[in-house]
């Protein structure tokens, strides 16, 4: 297993994984990623911002995710709770695992990478948000030591459950 920054050549493989996740959400009745987002343009931006990562297994892209150190506007206000820390943090976004690699805890590798990158930058917090019906991601977050902190609203107005891990 290897994790590396994504390159433009990876967009097709990343989009295939995103499309699998979108189909799985739709099948499960979860209204997440059902509005054409994320799309190839958002993946391109992630790559240009050097925030996109891919996880390689058996010579192929098995998972994708974003780790950002930019301030997340949606995290400025949190409802029905509070963040565990103040100051700088990393944000984990758009984690998706190819169907054939599910069940191998590959999502946890992105959590571990975010923690390592935070330590390298002298930061002590990793945050994430997920759809309230996305129980698999909530489980991944909790299993990796994240605590539920409250509710945030995305720019679109969509409600998300907010999690944080102080490292």
Which tens digits make up the pLDDT trace of 90-99? 999 999 999 9
Q: Is 93 helix (H, G, I), strand (E, B) or coil?
A: strand
pLDDT at 122 over 90: yes
Give kind and range of the element (H or E) at residue 97.
strand 90-97
Domains delineated in the chain = 2-166 (3.40.630.30)
pLDDT at 36: 78
pLDDT at 80: 98
pLDDT at 34: 83
pLDDT tens sequence across 82-117: 999 999 999 999 999 999 999 999 999 999 999 999
DSSP designation for 101:
G
pLDDT at 24 over 90: yes
Name the token pair of 10.
């990876």
d(CA 72, CA 102): 28
pLDDT at 101: 96
Q: What is the pTM of this model?
A: 0.94
Mean pLDDT value across the chain = 95
pLDDT at 32 over 90: no
pLDDT tens sequence across 37-79: 899 999 999 999 999 999 999 999 999 999 999 999 999 999 9
Distance, first Cα to last Cα, the chain: 24
């Amino acid at each position: 297993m290897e994790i590396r920054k994504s390159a433009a050549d990876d967009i097709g493989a990343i989009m295939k994984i995103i499309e699998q996740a979108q189909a799985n959400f739709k099948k499960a009745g979860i209204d997440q990623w059902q509005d054409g987002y994320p799309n190839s343009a958002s993946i391109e931006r992630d790559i240009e911002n050097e925030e996109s990562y891919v996880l390689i297994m058996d010579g192929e892209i098995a998972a994708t995710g974003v780790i950002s150190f930019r301030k997340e506007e949606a995290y400025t206000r949190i409802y029905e709770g509070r963040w565990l820390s103040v100051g700088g943090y990393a944000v984990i976004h758009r984690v998706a695992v190819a169907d054939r690699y599910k069940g191998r805890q590959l999502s946890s590798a992105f959590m571990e990478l975010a923690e390592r990158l935070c330590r390298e930058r002298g930061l002590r917090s990793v945050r994430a948000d997920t759809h309230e019906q996305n129980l698999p991601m909530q489980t991944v977050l909790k299993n990796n030591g994240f605590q539920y902190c409250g509710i945030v609203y995305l720019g679109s107005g969509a409600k998300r459950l907010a999690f944080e891990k102080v490292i």
